[in-house]
């Protein structure tokens, strides 16, 4: 019984140490979530203004043509998948990877029909293990990424579509709703369709021409949408991690309480047994 009590006490100590770790990780994730939400909010005005200017050109220029606006027969598809570098974030990575895998299985019969751009070590490793065609990747992003951090992969994804390397580009990520809810989302990024603003269209004068300005702005607009999705993904990652670590802390508390109750019962049983033995010994001497 004494050995059993020692084991229980050691297990309680182990769970208490784990609880301290998960609680600390929950607090760190909560702090990073706030910063990620602020970064996403600050990036929104630039994206909205760029969309307004593109919508103004598209509305005011009849018959405008650009590879990024033209729909063509789909022979090959590109997927830009946003995951995290680290785990311990609940179903954050598993949900989006499951959705992408399901889509690829339903739409494509061979690896020659699609290509992958991957942000995050978890996604990179997942696709590598399955020998799926990754043509560009970024790992080691900070928790507060800048546009410069993802510019290369965003530029390559947009450029390869413009060059006709594939005929459509989807972006797959976790859309942030709140700390508890993140929705695996798959959105067609290219070709751009229905670029229109929510409010009245402002009239601009363009030099050298609206078409020339559109040639520069459309790739930047698509790259900005990718960056916005990355920021949304980072907020989702921290929200998922905060929720997962909060659940782990609660589970640790439950286990500690159960083990403490078991320990107290075992201790009481040991004391009762000792008293019984003492009484029995005294009666035997009498």
Question: Would you call the peptide bond into 268 cis, given omega within 30 degrees of 0 as the criterion?
Answer: no
Total-model pTM: 0.85
More confident residue, 47 or 75: 75
Sorted by where each begins, the domain ranges of the chain are: 28-242
- Judged against a pLDDT cut of 60, whether residue 110 lies above it is answered with yes
- Judged against a pLDDT cut of 90, whether residue 215 lies above it is answered with no
DSSP string, 167-215: SEEEEEEEEE-SSS-EEEEEEEEES------SSPPPP---SS-HHHHHH
**What is the assigned CATH class of domain 28-242?**
alpha beta
Other C-beta atoms within 10 Å of 101: how many?
15
What percent of the chain clears pLDDT 70, i.e. is strictly above it?
91
| Predicted pLDDT of residue 193 | 67
- b/e per residue, 12-29, with b = 16+ CB within 10 A? beebeebbeebbebbeeb
Interval 35-45: pLDDT, tens: 998 888 888 88
- Phi, psi of 196, rounded to the nearest 5 degrees: -145, 145
DSSP state, residue 163: T
Q: Answer whether 22's CB lies under 8 Å from 238's CB.
A: no
């Amino acid at each position: 019984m004494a050995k059993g009590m020692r084991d229980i006490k050691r297990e309680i100590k182990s769970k208490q140490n784990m609880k301290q770790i998960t609680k600390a990780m929950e607090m760190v994730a909560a702090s990073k979530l706030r910063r990620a939400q602020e970064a996403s909010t600050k990036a929104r005005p630039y994206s909205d203004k760029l969309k307004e200017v593109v919508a103004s050109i598209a509305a005011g220029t009849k018959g405008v043509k650009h590879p990024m606006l033209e729909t063509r027969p789909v022979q090959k598809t590109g997927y830009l998948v946003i995951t995290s570098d680290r785990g311990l974030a609940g179903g954050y990575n598993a949900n989006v990877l499951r959705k992408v895998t399901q889509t690829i299985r339903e739409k494509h019969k061979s690896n020659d029909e699609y290509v992958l751009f991957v942000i995050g070590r978890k996604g990179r490793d997942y696709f590598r293990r399955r020998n799926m065609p990754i043509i560009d990747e970024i790992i080691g992003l900070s928790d507060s990424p800048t546009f410069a951090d993802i510019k290369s992969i965003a530029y390559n994804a947009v450029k390869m579509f413009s060059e006709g390397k594939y005929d459509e580009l989807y972006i797959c990520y976790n859309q942030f709703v709140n700390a508890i809810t993140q929705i695996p989302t798959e959105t067609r990024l290219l070709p751009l369709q229905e670029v229109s603003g929510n409010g009245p269209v402002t009239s601009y004068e363009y030099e050298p021409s609206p078409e020339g300005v559109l040639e520069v702005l459309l790739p930047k607009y698509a790259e900005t949408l990718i960056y916005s999705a990355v920021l949304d993904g980072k907020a989702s990652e921290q929200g998922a991690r905060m929720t997962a670590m909060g659940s782990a802390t609660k589970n640790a508390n439950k286990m500690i309480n159960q083990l403490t109750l078991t320990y107290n019962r075992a201790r009481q049983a040991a004391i009762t047994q000792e008293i019984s033995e003492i009484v029995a010994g005294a009666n035997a001497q009498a």
